[in-house]
Amino acid sequence: MSEKTGQRLLLQGNEAIVEGALAAGCRFFAGYPITPASEIAELMSLRLPALNGTFIQMEDEIASMGAIIGASLAGVKSLTATSGPGFSLMQENLGFACAAEVPCVVVNVMRAGPSTGLSTSPAQGDVMQARWGTHGDHPIIVLAVSSVSDCFDLTIQAFNLSEKYRVPVIVLSDEIVAHTRETVILPEQAAVTVIDRMRPAVPPEWYIPYEDNSRGVPAMADMGSGYRHHVTGLIHDVRGFPTERPEEVDAFIRRLFRKITNGFPEIQLTKTVMLEDAEIAVIAYGAVTRSALRAVRQARGRGIRAGLLQLITLYPFPRKAVEAVLRQCRRVLVPEMNMGQVIREVKRVNVATEIVRHNRVDGQFITPAEIYAHLLAM
Amino acid sequence: MTEKTGSLRHDYLRHDKKFPHVWCPGCGNGIVLGSLIRAIARLGLQKDELVLAAGIGCSGRMPVYVDFNTLHATHGRALTFATGIKLARPALTVIIVMGDGDATAIGGNHFIHAARRNLDLTAIIINNQIYGMTGGQYSPTTPYGSFAATAAWGHIEHAFPIAELAATAGASYVARGTVYHAAMLDDLLAGGIARKGFSVIEVMSNCHTQYGRRNQMNDAITMLRYFKEQAVAVDRAAGMSAAEMAGRFTIGVLADVEKPNFTEEYQKIRDRARQQ
């Protein structure tokens, strides 16, 4: 968002996610209470009824995920929000959304794990789970927020990508972004770009629900709109009915991946800061980006040619942007509040540049000073 | 009658290559499906306004055969998907078909909460007392002392009375029928669909392939005869002693109450929120 007109508000990250979701057209929320994500559900329960939307608190996160898939099938943009333990429970139905290509957005406000972990402390331990948490081969989109304004903008972006590509989108937040209050300027609704799923342009009798096209994203009919069809988590043919024919199974799985690959240029979002002439760089995502930015600026003050690449999209992994940084810089630092999850993806790009890790797993934030110390030594 | 059923099949089942069905010869699921479309025809519901959702198992294949808006969800979770559909489009009539394992083991939590919440949904639970599709493992309704693929030495757990569970959890309409009493089943299903609020119709059904075979009821006829002999109408059961009812079960409408349902209550919240 470039516009600077709008409503100036002091919001926490969780509140900005609600504002973003509503601006994107989300009118259904199902969730289950969990720290540090509960504010999203609380605010949704307050806001949705007046917008003719629906809030429901389900019996668990499995049910929450099921309910948002159901609402989306009926044509309503849907959101759920949770943290690690609940995100684990959502994986089952998340796979259904991937297989049946049901647009929906899942916010995971990361806290330290494994298991119940540190329920009020930040972490970035769920990166791999966001990508590979549900079983089977599947594409998915994962975005990471680093600020309150990100929470607003990227939640809109998440809905737009989800609708456009008929894929669940995971928004990874963390306890720091969720509970930090910052001033944000929310644009007028008219200035917000809102994308809706492509609906069938043919009459019901011609509708083939999973028919391939150039984008690899079939038109989606709202349940109950006259386009009666079958939706299943089984591998299905173009008509939506179960199939085990190898050629149909193969075509289905490959299309799921192709639709995302086709969209790489617009899905793989990154941001660069002072990278033009950088010799060393930090590749960061989420709240850690904030510390990295401060450290890079500090290093520049000392005459060190440091730069920052912020990964906004974690998956599909923005390989091209990372490769460019690796080719340009002699050393790259990847600070993470986990034992090293994104650094593995960076190393997979592999252009022989030295890649340095910085990991913190004590439930505390990585400070600018820690990153700065690395930059001095690089 | 035959002519009428033939016409209903034509009207409500999918025409494109979905038959023969996957169920074993003599399976009770077909009787439930027949009853369902007769009940729907009686209520005059249109195909476009109907949703049939199911979970996983033999019952889970039923949505493929009907020409409605259909959903084959994940195991035990059909009620959660249905909750989202109903809330997003309250005008739809949403029917969920589940098996006993689907609804009361893996989906047990969703089941009791759906009953408590009293959303306007109709849940049909085909209770064949076994996991049929996976090969005859014991379910939450497998009777004490019977045999199953995972109860080779006899079953030592006790069965859930599904209908009674639903009534206790708060469902508006609760009924139990059997695939032997097919005409009564039409009435029970129609009654459940018509009732606003959460309706549960438990249907005792035969899986002679996986349950009967291990419990001296090798074929469909023997199992249907068993249902005929063990089922006692609700009003008749009221006059019978506990000893007389031992090993038997009631059929008919067990609960039918009018009370606020979630769909209507939520609309009141919307109206209130918009006024402020």
pLDDT tens, residue by residue, A142-196: 999 999 999 999 999 999 999 999 999 999 999 999 999 999 999 999 999 999 9
Alpha-carbon torsion, ordered A144, A148, A150, A156, to 10 deg: 100
Q: Does any CB of chain B come closer than 8 Å to the CB of residue A44?
A: no
CATH number at residue B57: 3.40.50.970
Cβ-Cβ contacts under 8 Å for B189 (sequence gap 6 or more): B35, B36, B39, B122, B124, B201
Average pLDDT for residues A109-126, to the nearest whole number?
96
Q: B81, A223: Cβ pair inside 8 Å?
A: no
Cβ-Cβ contacts under 8 Å for B201 (sequence gap 6 or more): B122, B123, B124, B125, B174, B175, B176, B177, B185, B188, B189, B192
Q: B84, A68: Cβ pair inside 8 Å?
A: yes
CB B175 within 8 A of CB B163: yes
Q: A63, B68: Cβ pair inside 8 Å?
A: no
Query: Percent of chain B at pLDDT above 70?
Result: 98
CA distance A335 to chain B (A): 38
**What is the chain B residue with the closest CA to A240?**
B64
Tens-place pLDDT, residues B18-56? 788 999 999 999 999 999 999 999 999 999 999 999 999
Task: Find the CB nearest A66 among B51, B72, B81.
Answer: B81
pLDDT score at B3: 54
pLDDT score at B18: 77
pLDDT score at B45: 97
**Both ends of chain A: CA-CA distance in Å?**
35
Chain B interface mutation, best of A46, A52, A62, highest count of B Cβ atoms under 10 Å: A62
Q: A228, B113: Cβ pair inside 8 Å?
A: no
Establish, for the pair of chains A and B, how many residue pairs have beta carbons separated by less than 8 Å.
Answer: 142
Q: Does any CB of chain A come closer than 8 Å to the CB of residue B270?
A: yes
Domain residue extents for chain A = 7-191, 204-265, 271-377
Provide the token pair at B125. 């639970």
- For chain A, the average pLDDT equals 97
**What is the chain B residue with the closest CA to A229?**
B69
* pLDDT of residue B112 exceeding 70: yes
CATH number for A271-377: choose from 3.40.50.920, 3.40.50.720, 3.90.1150.10, 3.30.70.141: 3.40.50.920
Look up the domain containing B99 and give its range.
Answer: 2-275
CA distance B17 to chain A (A): 10
Partners of A239 on chain B (C-beta within 8 Å) are 16
* pLDDT of residue A319 exceeding 50: yes
**B15 pLDDT tier (thresholds 50, 70, 90):** confident
Tens-place pLDDT, residues A205-227? 999 999 999 999 999 999 999 99
ipTM for the predicted complex: 0.97
Tens-place pLDDT, residues B234-257? 999 999 999 999 989 999 999 999
Residue type, B25: P
CATH class of A7-191: alpha beta
**What is the chain B residue with the closest CA to A92?**
B74
Tens-place pLDDT, residues B64-107? 999 999 999 999 999 999 999 999 999 999 999 999 999 999 99
Q: A74, B84: Cβ pair inside 8 Å?
A: yes
C-alpha B226/C-alpha B196 separation (Å) is 33
Partners of A76 on chain B (C-beta within 8 Å) are 88
Q: Does any CB of chain A come closer than 8 Å to the CB of residue B21?
A: no
Q: Does any CB of chain B come closer than 8 Å to the CB of residue A49?
A: yes
Chain B interface mutation, best of A26, A29, A76, A223, highest count of B Cβ atoms under 10 Å: A223
Contacts with B, A 68-107, CB within 8 Å: 68-76, 78, 92-93, 96
Q: A92, B71: Cβ pair inside 8 Å?
A: no
Partners of A224 on chain B (C-beta within 8 Å) are 48-49, 51, 69, 85, 89, 91-92
Partners of B68 on chain A (C-beta within 8 Å) are 228
The total domain count for chain B is: 1
pLDDT score at A1: 44
Q: B67, A228: Cβ pair inside 8 Å?
A: yes
Q: Does any CB of chain B come closer than 8 Å to the CB of residue A134?
A: no
Average pLDDT for residues B218-226, to the nearest whole number?
97
* pLDDT of residue B1 exceeding 70: no
Show the 3-state SS of chain B: CHHHHHHHHHHHECCCCCCCCCCCCCCCHHHHHHHHHHHHHHHCCCHHHEEEEECCCCHHHHHHHECCEEEECCCCCHHHHHHHHHHHCCCCEEEEEEEHHHHHHHCHHHHHHHHHHCCCCEEEEEECCCECCCCCECCCCCCCCCCECCECCCCCCCCCCHHHHHHHHCCCEEEEEECCCHHHHHHHHHHHHHCCCCEEEEEECCCCCCCHHHCCCCCHHHHHHHHHHHEEEHHHHCCCCHHHHCCCEEEEEEEECCCCCHHHHHHHHHHHHHHC
Q: B273, A234: Cβ pair inside 8 Å?
A: no
Task: Find the CB nearest B71 among A73, A78, A93.
Answer: A73
CA distance A72 to chain B (A): 8
Query: Residues for chain A: how many in total?
Result: 378
pLDDT score at B9: 86
Partners of A200 on chain B (C-beta within 8 Å) are none
Partners of B272 on chain A (C-beta within 8 Å) are 49
